[in-house]
Chain A
Amino acid sequence: MSSATRVPLMLVPAAPAGSGSEEPGPPGLDDSTLLAGVRAQDASLSKAFYDRVRPIVDRTLARLLGPRDSDYEDVAQRALFELVSTIGRFRGECPLDAWVSIVTARVAYRTIRRRRAERRLFVDEQPQEVSLATRSHASAVAARQAIERVRAELERMNADRAWAFMLHDVYGYDLKEVGQIMGVSLSAAQSRLVRGRREIHERIKQDVVLARFLKQSGGDE
């Protein structure tokens, strides 16, 4: 999550400069101490580690799976297990929050790929913000319908391209992170993203109603 030009829709808000993390740990326990303890299999730090990473896991999974997904808690547990198992590979090259988010997203991606019959790209539930008071009822309905149409187009696309588009352009992961989550090289991730964007653009262009809505909403911005 490094692009400064992209809309800063990051799973984890940018950390204060120099701190490398946003979630406050237990009093007197910074990230480096916590990580060193977990690497040393210090079981007394299990609770502190859980408190530190669980909110990030939840935010990530809520976006990729939806908070009411039937497998939500199982996937969250798998993500926690994966975080501890692979903690030796975390070398502090990115903030801890970003690393937790990438590992969690990878677990979620694998889970969804296993659901062959159920090719969901993102949550089924209704976007909560659509009914925000700042929007009129009519525009909220129009936005909800537009999201449904975009979702339908994404479901019809090649899954890998759609995933690359969602991870990069919607969830805010950079290309390297997209590659890590999907288990492919940087160039493969880029190729999937470019093709995914082109494909969704062509599909929306064919949907006159959706295209008009997006044009208008783009003008509103």
Chain B
Amino acid sequence: MNTPRYAAAAAQLLRRYLPGAPVASGDEARGIATIEHAMQARTRQRRLMAIGASLAAAAAVLIVGTQLDQWRQSSPSSGVIAIKVTPSGHGAALARNEEEAPLKAHSSIESGQRIETPADGGASLQLSTGTSMTLAGRTSFRVDSQGATQRFTLQRGELLARVAKLTTTQRFIVDTPDAEVEVRGTRFRLRVIEHGESCGAGTRTRLDVSEGVVEVRAPNQGATSVKAGEAWPAGCSGTEDVPQDPTPRQSAARTTAPAPKRDLRPAGRAAVPDGEPERSSGLTAQNDLFAEGVARGRRGDTRGAVRAYQELIDRFPSSALAENAMVERMRLLAQTPSGALEASRYLARYPRGFAVREAKTLVAEP
């Protein structure tokens, strides 16, 4: 840096006449006291810093621990999967071994616990993975494993499941008394009926797959892949009812849940007399009607299928299956003069439905 001439000269002049230090030094006693005071302050400051550092470290450990815990709870692949269950209707119970307690809304359920639903009740389960399941009436459902392998047992009754996509390390398996159902992200309906001798080699398990692929393994029948729109056992999907006997048979090797020992109906509700046909729960009836429509349509019984769908729509107009039933009926009647009329009805009722484009095409066709 070149210093400008006058700046350098001015600096030289000032340097030459800088004042010197005072002859007598300052207040020595005060200076020494200041130094001792500063030493003490430094000690306090260091102590405070040490305390602060300890607190910060403890807080960090706490935060990390909490985060880790939350991550473990929410991470489907690394820890226990949280399951919340909420009853619908009255009388559902949460049981472990022989102990039973009324099921409360948003209860947590753990491995080994069982849900028992009465004839006119049900329950819905929500897993932290995003999977949801709905239990129909007269169902006995047990959680066997909540880890990377999610394993459940449907002892009797019916469940409707919508399984979230699984990672490569995850499995979702439902055992029934005589079969094992494994899925990889799908929607399906699984039932255990009371009497299944009429078809499917006597198996009591009934499966209808709405989306994806489900693998079923049953003794003496090997593994079968059931795709969307298909049912298992083939030709058995129909209107077989769920078990009438609240105490099901313990017939399969995989069955480990003890049979319910008490009537789960709410107090004051009369038990169904022996021999009198029981009513299915609303969910069961909806599913049955829809399954009947599918089965009849597959067999070529268009009229019967349309009738089943219509009954579903009439009886359960607010059902989630009502729209599907209407679409199926529209498709069955597409080649008939009523096709355009059905499509118009669908558009009027579901202007933003999933089959709007298909319906509009039908309406536009001459």
Contact = CB atoms under 8 A, between A and B. Distances in A.
Interface string B276-287: 000000000000
A210 to B, nearest CB: 8
Contacts of B42: 41, 84-85, 87-88
Main secondary structure of the interface of A (DSSP, over half): helix
Contacts of A188: none
A63 B19 contact: yes
B4 A198 contact: yes
Interface residues of A, number: 63
Contact of B15 (A7, A62, A66): A7
Contacts of B31: 50, 54, 76-77, 80
Given A77-B30, A81-B37, A127-B19, A211 B6 contact: yes
Nearest to B25: A54
Contacts of B60: none
B35 A55 contact: no
Contacts of B15: 7, 9, 170, 172
B38 A80 contact: yes
A62 B23 CA distance: 11
Nearest to A198: B4
B25 A58 contact: yes
Contacts, number: 149
Is chain B's interface secondary structure helix, strand, loop, or mixed overall?
helix
Interface residues of B, number: 39
Interface in B1-28: 1, 3-22, 25-28
B40 interface: yes
A4 interface: no
A43 interface: yes
B9 A214 contact: yes
A150 B39 contact: no
B9 A217 contact: yes
B13 A147 contact: yes
B17 A201 contact: no
A136 B14 CA distance: 18
Contact of B4 (A9, A43, A47, A197): A197
Contact of B18 (A9, A43, A169): A9
A204 B6 contact: yes
A90 B321 CA distance: 79
Contact of A58 (B14, B26, B37): B26
B301 interface: no
B64 interface: no
A188 to B, nearest CB: 15
Nearest to B33: A46
B17 A197 contact: no
A79 to B, nearest CB: 9
A24 interface: no
B19 A150 contact: no
B4 A46 contact: no
A84 B35 contact: yes
Q: When A and B form their complex, which 8 residue pairs have the shortest distance between CB atoms, in order from nearest?
A: A127-B17, A201-B4, A84-B38, A169-B11, A214-B9, A204-B6, A67-B22, A197-B7
Interface of B: 1, 3-22, 25-28, 30-32, 34-43, 45
Given A58-B22, A72-B26, A197-B4, 10 more contacts: A38-B39, A58-B21, A67-B19, A77-B31, A80-B31, A81-B34, A84-B38, A84-B39, A147-B13, A198-B7
9 contacts: A43-B36, A58-B22, A84-B38, A127-B17, A127-B19, A197-B1, A204-B9, A214-B13, A218-B9
